[in-house]
Amino acid sequence: MKMLIGGEWVDRDEKIPVLDPQDDSVIDTVPAGTPDDVKRAFDIAERGAEIMRNLATYDRYEILLKAAHLLEERLEEFSRLIAREGVKTIREARKEAARAVNTLTYAAEEAKRIQGEIVHFDADFRRDRRVGYWLREPVGIVLAITPYNDPLNMVAHKVSPAIAADNAVVLKPATVTPLSALKFGELLLEAGLPPEALSIVTGRASQIADALVTDPRPRVITFTGGTEAGEDIIRKAGLKKVMMELGSSSAVIVMDDADLDRAVPLSVDGAFWAAGQNCIGVQRLFVHRKVYDTFMERFVEHTRRIKVGNKLDESTDMGPMITKAEADRVEAWIKEAVDLGGKLLVGGRREGNFIWPTVLEKVPKNARVVCQEVFGPVVVAEPVDTLEEAVAKANDTEYGLHAAIFTQDLDRAFKAARDLKFGGVMINDSTDFRVDYMPFGGYKKSGLWREGLRFAMEVMTEIKLVAFNVNWQKG
């Protein structure tokens, strides 16, 4: 496929192969974009921002809604593309594609809800007779940088609120999964998006990242990825609003009164969705000692039943890691945990880019599977004696995206919700629960601002105040 710059499909002599991580076969190639391509994309986006600014609200609504309908009609085509270039099984990919339909639909609805307020200047002690109001206007250009693990819906999460808020977008998809993003660009153009309003620049981050983030023209950068990359963007971006969803180490607390029939399957699903390559996937389990043995026996048994294999096989539950390098890393972290005294309850197996779902216990806190984001199919379990102990251990991390607690006690639920230092706390559910219109983001090194259509649009707009000094004396 070619990259999209201002409605034109652009190729380059240097190509980047897009590999199926299942067997490293070549699916397609994309151009290796250059800093000149980035400059051209922003040049065109400046015109696109003016065009978008003058679109009627209904036009934006109609474009996004038509794109949702088109995507729904081609759901299987997009699902297979997501599964082939990424890590998800075909069943997981269908859920992602269906969520992207919802994301576009929600964005279309939110396009009609950008509002302001009347300002009563005479409420000031000076009793000023001025009248006025404030409203939201587009920032102009949004730079979106997306990860590999949700190659379609994460693109929709960044592009659709930017469009709903009247902005032009320059998108840099993940180097290893650019195809879904490019097909999404085709879809938006077909839906009537002005060509100048969207450019999708493919390429290696090492070659074009600096050109993207240092250009002064985008007023908002929205980025999902690793914490180190996010910190690098912050250092280089300059005076911009930077939305970030970064690393995580999600914790689940299981109390002694928990409904294990609910807690076990939800926690297993949350741990191994997309082979654990999920920013809100379950990584750490803190289980009350009274139910620890029972819970872990059932958790391990559920884990053993997960079928690993061909992503396009309807019966497969879990696919591969995205690259050999990532599989190597996760395998090394598992080995380190065992070498440090951890006990392997199930998993640890490696074949090619596949890592079988792995459960560990008795792992010291300095092991990387505990203190860093695994982003792979690995869970670490530990018994606790009290809610206070569980909360303290859950909070003992640099990250703070999602946490969860299973309990039948309302007081415990409210106490956990108050004391857990995470952007989202799920009660009697897995940490990987998410709907696409809720505020989504984290504390500490898990990010800045919040995604979720309306919340992203607040960042992608500026507030303008208008005040009238009225001569009230004249008739």
399-400 and 402-406 strand pairing: unpaired
* pLDDT score, position 253: 98
Each of the 475 residues of the chain gets a pLDDT tens digit; together they read 999 999 999 999 999 999 999 999 999 999 999 999 999 999 999 999 999 999 999 999 999 999 999 999 999 999 999 999 999 999 999 999 999 999 999 999 999 999 899 999 888 888 878 889 999 999 999 999 999 999 999 999 999 999 999 999 999 999 999 999 999 999 999 999 999 999 999 999 999 999 999 999 999 999 999 888 999 999 999 999 999 999 899 999 999 999 999 999 999 999 999 999 999 999 999 999 999 999 999 999 999 999 999 999 999 999 999 999 999 999 999 999 999 999 999 999 999 999 999 999 999 999 999 999 999 999 999 999 999 999 999 999 999 999 999 999 999 999 999 999 999 999 999 999 999 998 999 999 999 999 999 999 999 999 999 999 887 666 5
For each of the domains in the chain, give its residue range(s) and CATH number, in order of start: 3-246+446-465 (3.40.605.10), 250-427 (3.40.309.10)
241-245 and 250-254 strand pairing: unpaired
Contact 250, 283 (CB under 8 A): yes
Give the residue numbers marked as catalytic: 245, 279
* pLDDT score, position 161: 97
- The 3-state DSSP class for residue 20 equals strand
Say which DSSP state 443 is in: E
Report the first-to-last Cα separation within the chain, whole angstroms: 67
DSSP-assigned states of every residue in 7-32: TEEE--SSEEEEEETTTTEEEEEEE-
Beta strands in 294-423 (DSSP E): 343-346, 350-351, 354-355, 358-361, 378-384, 399-400, 402-406
In single-letter form, the type of residue at position 301 comes to E
Positive or negative, the Cα torsion across 431, 432, 434, 439? positive
Q: What is the pTM of this model?
A: 0.93
* pLDDT score, position 474: 60
